[in-house]
Amino acid sequence: MVPLATVMEKEKENFKFFLGIPYPDRRTVAVNTVKGSQMLEPLFEFSGACAGCGETPYVKLLTQLLGDRLVIGNATGCSSIYGGNLPTTPYSMNKDGRGPAWSNSLFEDNAEFGMGFRLAIDQQREYAENLLKRYEAKVGKDLAAEILAAKQDDEGGIASQRERVAKLKEKLKGVDELAAKDLVQLADGLVRKSVWVVGGDGWAYDIGYGGLDHVLRSGKNVKVLVLDTEVYSNTGGQASKATPRGATARFATSGKKTARKDLALTALGYGNCYVARVAMGASDAQTVKAFVEAEQYDGPAIIIAYSHCIAHGFPIEEGKGLEHQKLAVDCGYWPLIRYNPDLLLQGKNPLQIDSKPGKIPVEQYLGAEQRYKVLHQSDPTEAHRLAKLAAEDVQYTWKVLEGLQKTFEPGAAPIAKTDALAKTCQTN
């Protein structure tokens, strides 16, 4: 330790040099791998969340994978507080001055708020396409056709579309017509945008669930990221429907008596929705794969991300959060799954189970966190009863998952690849 004034100017220059190190061209990076994704520029940094927060790594990864095409509707909660701690914000810009678009809505209507983004973006794109057809002669038939037919399913395709849109704006620069000016203003909407609804379990499982259900069933291309801390973290740690059996929380000090709501199985029941449950500490590769697949899926998608929290009762600031995530997966409490309806249409099993239960006893996971241990001190008999039921909850969940996986096997009755099912997956 030395006096700050003696190193300030030198470290300013060092930090300036660090910020000037260029990031690789997104088109040259394998974005669907852990190593590749971490080579991409994060457009979320210095958030001011709790030290060791389990939510922020998922948000950071989201901005790395999607960059400045990302549009976020954020429910009120921890993620809205550290996400919009005005007058500063952790969402940043790249060297081109572009970054994610972010706005916060209420607990009760955030899913609908996000779908409003999707509808508005789609309407603007449709209007821009119609105007482009009108000005086809002025901008050139070839350029107009290339823009309208552009495949934007990878970084190369998106970069090429940006270049075409820049040419389009240049060609219309001297056209003094209101419609042409509208097209210049809306031209960036011809580059694919990715709309994500982000929030915690208090929003997704409880207060905003009605809207979430509506959006997932709508068939619209809206993605959902649930940062699941299993408790109302931002308001002090009250129990939510995501709180597991046997855990204590504020106003639930006698232990949660019922099993947690399984939002993943609920969403899986829609059939037309991409569903994933992830835990970065257990499998970073599976987490990246789920984010990439959700983005590529042409329809609604939901990722439920295990997010350790200070309310769980262990020193997250010491970097032990990922270890606890791994314990949750290894005991079978938090199965890692991916359900992709596109695989069903290809004659493949759409339900992939990416983890195995029973590597460690459920009790080992429960005993590692104060939210479970506190009940053993106040009411040991009840604590043992709930711990036993919690272990049975794990067994039940796995029976359901493994049964569903067998049911989805190609050719297995009663579910098989049919034209009617394919039509349902594509249109609903």
**Which pLDDT tens digit goes with each residue over 91-142?**
999 999 999 999 999 889 999 999 999 999 999 999 999 999 999 999 999 9
Q: pLDDT at residue 415 above 80? A: no
Q: How confident is the model at residue 252 (pLDDT cuts 50, 70, 90)?
A: confident
Calculate the average pLDDT of the chain.
Answer: 93
Confidence of residue 428 (pLDDT cuts 50, 70, 90): very low
DSSP string over 105-168: --TTTHHHHHHHHHHHHHHHHHHHHHHHHHTHHHH-HHHHHHHHH---SSHHHHHHHHHHHHHH
- The arithmetic mean of pLDDT across residues 187-215, rounded, is 96
Give the closest residue to 81 by CA, choosing from 72, 70, 90: 90
Region 362-377 average pLDDT: 93
With beta carbons less than 8 A apart as the criterion, state whether 73 and 199 touch. no
pLDDT bracket for residue 413 (50, 70, 90): low
| CB of 373 closer than 8 Å to CB of 305 | no
Report the C-alpha gap between 103 and 374 in whole angstroms.
Answer: 38
Q: Given this model, what pLDDT does residue 412 score? A: 65
What's the pTM? 0.93
How many Å apart are CA 418 and CA 411, to the nearest integer? 10
Does residue 411 register a pLDDT over 90?
no
Cα gap 390→281, rounded to integer Å: 22
CATH homologous superfamily for 230-427? Thiamin diphosphate (ThDP)-binding fold, Pyr/PP domains (3.40.50.970)
325: amino acid identity, one letter? Q
At residue 418, the pLDDT reads: 44
Q: Which of 24-28, 148-152, 232-236, 306-310 is least confident?
A: 232-236
Per-residue pLDDT band at 400 (split at 50, 70, 90): very high
Residue 257: CB partners within 8 Å, gap ≥ 6? Answer: 245, 386
Q: pLDDT value at position 64?
A: 97
pLDDT confidence of residue 250: 83
